[in-house]
Amino acid sequence: MALDSKIPQGPLADKWTKHKNDINLVNPANKRLIDVIIVGTGLAGGSAAATLAELGYNVKAFCFQDSPRRAHSIAAQGGINAAKNYQGDGDSTYRLFYDTVKGGDYRSREANVYRLAEVSSNIIDQCVAQGVPFARDYGGLLDNRSFGGVLVSRTFYAKGQTGQQLLLGAYSAMNRQIGRGKIKMYNRHEMLDVVIVDGKARGIIARNLVTGEIERHSAHAVVLGTGGYGNVFFLSTNAMGSNVTAAWKAHKRGAYFANPCYTQIHPTCIPVSGDHQSKLTLMSESLRNDGRIWVPKHKKDVEAIRSGNLKPTQLAEEDRDYYLERRYPAFGNLVPRDVASRAAKERCDEGYGVNATGEAVYLDFAAAILRYGKEQAHIKGLSEDDEALINKLGKDVVKAKYGNLFQMYEKIADENPYETPMMIYPAVHYTMGGVWVDYNLQTTIPGLYAIGEANFSDHGANRLGASALMQGLADGYFVLPYTIGDYLSHDIRTGTISTDLPEFEEAEKKVTESIAHFINNKGSKSVDYFHRRLGKIMWDKCGMSRNEKDLKVAIEKISALRKEFYKEVLVPGTANEFNEQLAKAGRVADFLELGELFAKDALLREESAGGHFREEYQTPEGEAMRRKEFQFVSAWEYKGEPKDAVLHEEELEYNNIEVKERSYK
């Protein structure tokens, strides 16, 4: 099947408006006759569920957590971008579009990104109307801050908990519709297959995670808002339950999977402390505004620090290597995420890592404390020579800016970051790849939609900070509700879809058999044992830098591990009860397939772009080398084993932006 992205004709700035005017609508009385299933209740799924229910459709929403409010969008810290230009600093729809395409290393679709920038302002209006308590200035107007890689202040925020507040906003909009009976909410339910009838998505098979019951649910369309697949690495900043299962089942039923190798490795996370580690914690990008990143210049100092004989604060200024400032004088510590992550890895690989495992660098606030302290002393007319006073005043400023993050760090690392530099290391954070969708957010299966991080999205090969929240809400509030209507307008006479159809029967049987296999397989190793091993292969071979040899090894190893998993996995308990291990087994089984496709995709992409760095394709200075012949989306069609997946290319055209080298020097 040829890929048709269905991008409307006409000038870039008019496409969305024209498209909205051209597509079919469903009359309000007929909307009552149409059912829509939404899987996942994060920013994308939650906002879509609320909006579709308001429009009058009958919505059934599913989440695996005990409440829709707990989806992992809640953990987003920094903020949400919108081209409001409230600061009058030259922001515009075009600039947000431009920054996003450039930030994505010219691997995203122009028309989608422009639409995203266009609706971004509406999101802020909407959220304020819903009572989201964004930060305000003393005049009572909304405050903004800057984020990495851009030249304007367009980021709206609610302390360090912007994701939480936006998600609770979407949750409140859902609650209103649940109260009215327009959304039927299924908490603690996991989607285990999508049901295709006559080539169209017509329902799902779900497992009730409390009783273990397998349920059939029908609808006229199915929407996946199920997030990203970062947990294929085992350790990531994702929640423990975040998984690829819904997206992967859709892939196996015919939805193409796009750019699986595009992964964002976030530079500032708390390092791994030992083999017991279950997840990683992010420290907001905003810290790089004031923190300076360094490692010792000399190996002997590294040794002394690792053995505890030298404290980082004792090391003289000239013995420190502020490697980002050294390599990228123009952007310094504020280079984009992919660049900062690779630079940290390079130093640690060379043996300069500062913790016991050799995988940590310092993020130091001493200079900021001194600078702010002097500034405060000057403002208050106090002595600028009193070191203790300067130190105290400086710490107060840093505390006001980053207090909650410092406290979070101290709880985990048991060190006081006001007194000694933080230790940080890159960690898997976000996946730009996902289910392929057209301009209407429809997958290659008619009636199946993917929104938010679950789709291959608008971020190309690298996502800018504060853009994930924007995309999730844009898709759910303002894009999908229009585009899905065009599809559903053909279903006004269809009537309720019966769950007795043979296609439901077949899908349920498949799910039941897979569960029975896990329960009856009396292996010897826990699910986590395999998940950890998969994560190690992914991190070592498909992580921050990749090469042909390693990727080929990864494919072999993952394939072998998958076979071993099915033979050796041990799932305690029964199918008919609350059984977390059983749920996990299914998720890891899907990660074991996705992981292989991921490596295959990375092997195919013989270039470096954004989050995908191939060692063979770099400039003499070690920077990423993009190649024109790879200016396409790789969309994979399922054909059985991941190794047999068939590639479809969607060429990317840039008519409104000049494709340039990214340089931060």
Partner 1 sequence: MNLTLKIWRQKNANDKGKMVDYQVSDISTDMSFLEMLDVLNNELIEKGDSPVAFDHDCREGICGMCSLYINGEAHGPGRKITTCQLHMRMFKDDDTIYIEPFRAKAFPVIKDLVIDRSAFDRVQYAGGFISVNTSGNTQDANSIPISKHAADEAMDAATCIGCGACVATCKNSSAMLFVGAKVSQYALLPQGKVEATDRVLNMIHQMDAEGFGNCTNTGACEIECPKGISLENIARMNREYLKASLKG
Q: Are 60 and 138 in contact (CB under 8 A)?
A: no
Report 552-571 residues binding partner 1 (CB under 8 A). 570
State which of positions 513-532 bind partner 1 (CB under 8 A): 524-526, 528-529
Alpha helices, H only, 130-275: 162-179, 245-252
As measured in angstroms, the least distance from the Cβ of 115 to partner 1 is 13
**What is the C-alpha end-to-end distance of the chain, expressed in Å?**
43
Among 580, 615, 641, 649, binds partner 1 (CB under 8 A): 580
Q: Hey, which residues between 435 and 494 contact partner 1 (CB under 8 A)?
A: 477-478
Cβ contact 174:71 at 8 Å:
no
Nearer to partner 1 by Cβ, of 51 and 93: the residue is 51
As a 3-state breakdown, the chain gives helix, strand, coil percent values, each rounded to 5, of 45, 15, 40
> Sign of the CA dihedral 364, 365, 366, 371?
positive
CA-angle at 182, arms to 177 and 185, nearest 5°: 80
377 binds partner 1, rule: CB under 8 A? no
Q: 43-55 and 162-179 are packed helices; what angle lies between their axes, rounded to 10 degrees?
A: 30
Task: Provide, rounded to whole angstroms, the least separation between the CB of residue 598 and partner 1.
Answer: 24
**Binders of partner 1 in range 138-157 (CB under 8 A):** 138-142
- Cβ proximity to partner 1: between 145 and 176 the closer is 176
Q: Does 185 bind partner 1 (CB under 8 A)?
A: yes
Region near partner 1 per CB under 8 A, out of 65-73, 286-294, 337-345, 484-492: 65-73
User: CA 637 to CA 251: how far, in whole Å?
Assistant: 7
When the beta carbons of 578 and 654 are compared against partner 1, the nearer one is 578
Q: How far is the CB of 140 from partner 1 (least distance, A)?
A: 3
131 in contact with partner 1 (CB under 8 A): yes
Task: Pick one of 419, 572, 604, 619: the residue that binds partner 1 (CB under 8 A).
Answer: 572
CB of 201 to partner 1, least distance (A): 24
At its nearest, how many Å lie between partner 1 and the CB of residue 240?
Answer: 6
- Provide the strand spans (E) within 270-323: 292-296, 320-321
Tell whether residue 179 is a contact of partner 1 (CB under 8 A). Answer: yes
Q: DSSP assignment of 584-629, as one string?
A: HHHHHHHHHHHHHHHHHHHHH--S-BTTB-BTTSB-TTS-B---GG
| CA–CA distances in Å: residue 380 to residues 369, 386, 400 | 16, 13, 17
80 binds partner 1 (CB under 8 A): no
Work out whether the CA dihedral 146, 149, 152, 154 comes out positive or negative.
negative
Which of 107, 216, 320, 337 is the catalytic position? Answer: 337
Which residue in the block uniquely carries the two structure tokens 């498209």? 19
Residues 271-300 that bind partner 1 (CB under 8 A): 273-274, 276-279, 281-282
- Least distance to partner 1 from the beta carbon of 616, Å? 36
**Smallest separation, CB 274 to partner 1 (Å):** 6
Answer for which of 137, 349, 350, 415 binds partner 1 (CB under 8 A) is: 137
- Using the contact rule CB under 8 A, the part of the chain among 17-25, 123-131, 254-262, 657-665 near partner 1 is 123-131
Shortest Cβ distance from residue 361 to partner 1 (Å)?
A: 19
Q: Which range binds partner 1 by CB under 8 A, 126-134, 217-225, 332-340, 646-654? A: 126-134
Task: Kindly state whether residue 125 participates in binding partner 1, applying the rule CB under 8 A.
Answer: yes
Q: Which is nearer to partner 1, 134 or 365 (CB)?
A: 134
> Parallel, antiparallel, or unpaired: how do β-strands 189-197 and 183-186 relate?
unpaired
Q: How far is CA 564 from CA 60, 248, 515, in A?
A: 37, 20, 17
What is the DSSP track for 421-439? -EEEEEEEEEE--EE---T
Element (H or E) spanning 58, and its range? Answer: strand 58-62
Long-range contacts of 562-567 (CB under 8 A, 24+ apart): 562/589, 562/592, 562/593, 562/596, 564/530, 565/530, 565/589, 565/592, 566/517, 566/521, 567/521, 567/523
- Paired tokens of 251: 């892939």
Q: Between 480-488 and 43-55, two packed helices, what is the crossing angle to 10 degrees?
A: 50
Contact with partner 1 (CB under 8 A): which of 578, 606, 627, 659? 578
State which of residues 30, 153, 164, 521 lies at the interface with partner 1 (CB under 8 A).
164
Q: Which of 41, 58, 65, 333 contacts partner 1 by CB under 8 A? A: 65
Report residue 209 as tokens.
């995670």
337 assigned to active site: yes
Q: How many C-beta atoms surround the C-beta of residue 140 within 10 A?
A: 6
The residue among 205 and 480 lying less far from partner 1, judged by its C-beta, is 480
Q: Are 349 and 426 in contact (CB under 8 A)?
A: no
* Binding positions for partner 1, 216-245, rule CB under 8 A: 237, 239-241
Q: Binding to partner 1 (CB under 8 A): which residues in 599-658? A: none
Question: Least distance in Å: CB of 407 to partner 1?
Answer: 8
- Which residues in the 389-408 window bind partner 1 by CB under 8 A? 408
Shortest distance, CB of residue 210 to partner 1, whole angstroms?
6
- Residue 165 vs 545, nearer CB to partner 1: 165
Among 57, 114, 134, 406, binds partner 1 (CB under 8 A): 134
Binding mask 21-50 for partner 1 (x = CB under 8 A): --------------------------x--x
What is the closest distance, in whole angstroms, from the C-beta atom of residue 409 to partner 1 in the complex?
11
Q: Measured between alpha carbons, how far is 142 from 122 in angstroms, rounded to an integer?
A: 14
**270 with 360: CB under 8 angstroms?**
no
Stretch that binds partner 1, among 147-155, 168-176, 424-432, 597-605 (CB under 8 A): 168-176
Any contact of residue 161 with partner 1 (CB under 8 A)?
Answer: yes
CB under 8 Å to 93, separation ≥6 — which residues?
13, 83, 114, 117, 118, 120
Residue 258 host element (H or E): strand 257-258
The answer to whether residue 351 forms part of the interface with partner 1 (CB under 8 A) is no
Nearest-approach distance from CB 142 to partner 1, in angstroms: 6
Query: Half-sphere exposure (CA, 13 Å, Cβ side) for 75?
Result: 16
Q: Output 210 or 646, the one with its CB closest to partner 1.
A: 210
User: Among residues 9 and 21, whose Cβ is nearest to partner 1?
Assistant: 21
Distance from C-alpha of 20 to C-alpha of 449, rounded to nearest angstrom = 18
Instruction: Rule CB under 8 A: choose which of 128, 310, 553, 575 binds partner 1.
Output: 128
Question: Site for partner 1 (CB under 8 A): which residue of 18, 136, 298, 549?
Answer: 136
Catalytic sites, residue numbers: 337
